[in-house]
Copies of this chain bind each other. A is one copy, B any other.
Amino acid sequence: MARLRANIAISLDGYAAGPDQSEENPLGKGGMQLHEWAFELAAWRNPHGLEGGVVNASSAVVEETLANIGAVVMGRNMFGGQGPWGDQPWNGWWGDDPPFHAPVFIVTHHPREPVVMQGGTTFTFVTDGIESALAQAMHAAGGKDVSLAGGASVIQQYLNAGLLDELQINLVPVLLGGGARLFDNLDGANVKLECTRAVEAPGVTHLRYRAVKS
């Protein structure tokens, strides 16, 4: 059965983004450090249109994360911008040829017409809640899994609603000291996770959790 799988990098002190997020610095102060382990990987560079890169213990994890994904769900903050879209709406952080190459459903309060990007990525803006975004993404995925790309807030919402099947944490040994915490605003009585794999790799530890449905 198709699953909803989240994949997110956090610091040792639990932050998915550093303090002072802004349009110029979307990951917040120090937040880019959470992703440095990925940038050097061939398994990450290739899907992002970059050449070269290394192979290490993270490679198989990244390949697995990207495999069998038919659609993507993300929060508005991860797409980019905030508030009403305005007359000339921005197409977000992700460039003209976004790295998703799949239908992307953005959870937002602000309605907007869909946008077709290069390379197979489409952006659809969903204003009637996380269940609707998931249903639309599952339909678009045609039997493949749906990737929940983040950020922290939308992952919390899916966790609390019992809709997430798998959570992969890429734990990076840096301390950000502030920002957006992944494990915040959660109902500990409802959210049950079980670690199914731990992989130590250069600059990151990959922890895969299965959500235990009650």
- A interface with B by C-beta (< 8 Å): 12-14, 30, 171, 173-177, 181, 183-184, 186, 188, 191-200, 204-205, 207, 209
Contacts and interface: CB of A to CB of B under 8 A. Distances in A.
10 contacts: A13-B181, A30-B188, A175-B183, A175-B186, A175-B188, A177-B186, A177-B188, A198-B199, A198-B205, A205-B207
Contacts of A181: 13
A126 to B, nearest CB: 27
Q: Indicate how many identical chains form the complex.
A: 2
Which 10 A-B residue pairs are closest in the complex by CB-CB distance? A175-B188, A13-B183, A198-B198, A198-B200, A173-B193, A195-B205, A198-B205, A14-B14, A177-B188, A195-B200
B196 A200 contact: yes
A184 B12 contact: no
A42 B13 CA distance: 32
